[in-house]
Structures are given as structure tokens and as C-alpha cells.
Structure 1
Amino acid sequence: MTLDIQSVRGAFPALTSGFLFGDNAGGSQCVAAVVDRIADYLLNTNVQLGADYSVSVVSTNRVASGAEAARELFNAESVDEIAYGSSSTMLVENLARAIEADIQPGEEIVITGEHEY
């Protein structure tokens, strides 16, 4: 399979601006189709999840299908292994705060260096 780089670049509207985007923890460029799906969700089905009225059922299913897609992408055993958050930094912070009371003196947490210092 040959990657059509022009097609890939075309999916990211910001790349037509002439600016170079060095993506980092502050954000990254988004594919237009993703923005379209988010806008459609927010404009048409952004209601209480889990209720039994029709638009809530649609909304709940849309959110669930996103979790299922992420589960498949990351080869997770369950959607319960999928967490959403505003950024990886915030997710790690939330995890650290959640487990800090259980860390005992002498125990270690091993991290990798992929995140900025």
C-alpha cells in the first residue's frame, strides 16, 4: 500500500495556512472529519447520556461507539480500559492523585521518557 501524502495532508485544514506546526502537549492539529463529527455531535445529539428518550439513546450509542473504536485501536480487552481526558498530562496527574495515598515508602513508580520534561 502506498501512502498518498497529499491526501493525508489535505485532511488537516491547518496545514494549508503556511505555518509549520510543531505539535506538543499544548495540542495538535485535528483532521477535518473529526471536527465535523464533533460538531455534529454537539449540535445534534449533545444530551444526557443513558436516558431512555430517543436522542439520548442515539447520543449514548455514539459515545459508546467511540470507546469501542478506541478499544479496538489500542487492542484493549475492554472499553473499561479506555479513559478520556483533556490531555495526557491531565490524565497522568489525575492517576497520580488517585493512587498517591496507596503508595508506600520504598515503592517505585516507573515512567518512560516520551513525555516532555
Structure 2
Amino acid sequence: MASTNSWTLEIESTVAAPRLFKAGVMDWHTLAPKLASHIITSAHPIEGGGGGVGSVRQFNFTSAMPFSMKKERLDFLDADNCECKSTLIEGGGIGMKIETATSHIKIEPTANHW
């Protein structure tokens, strides 16, 4: 029987929620190789442009990671409310250490930060 693990991470930021969502989620395939070049060598959309439901992005990793790449599919997007869900569809340990992996990201504003 497979087990299910879940975790939540809360981080406070002075950056407005829509700006953080755009940079950290929607444009991450462009920013990641620049900001984390020691981990991510390249990233690019391979289906659907990377920004709409059903689109797929591939991230290629350095030897700092235990796998060379991952592909993720965007399954749900509500940019107005800074929320998305994606599924790991290839690489990243799928079929080896894990059976499935999904991510749910929701960036919520705090008082005066929208």
C-alpha cells in the first residue's frame, strides 16, 4: 500500500503576492537557471508555452541533484488568486523512489501586501 505525504511551507515576504507568483511560478523556467545555476542548468516549455493549463516544462539539473531532469505539467491555474497545481510527469525520481508527485502552490497576501 502506498503512503501519501504532504507538507505546507509558509514564508513571509514583502513582495506583493501577484509579483511573487509571476516570478516564482509562471516565469520560474526563465529565472531558475539564472538564480540557481548551481542546481538548474536550463529550463524551458516543451508543450503549450509553459504558462497555461496542460503546458509542460522541463528542468535540467546539475550533478548537485540525484536526477538529471524533471518534466512537470500545469494542471490548474488561477493567476488572479495566485494559485496553481502541477504534476511531475517524468524524471525527478518518478518510477524509482516515488510513484506520483503533485504540487499545489497558493500565494496569499498578508495585510497591505496585495
Q: What TM-score comes out, normalization by structure 2 length? A: 0.26
Higher helix content, 1 or 2: 1
Structure with greater contact order relative to length (CA < 8 Å, sep ≥ 6): 2
Rg bigger for which structure? 1
Higher strand content, 1 or 2: 2
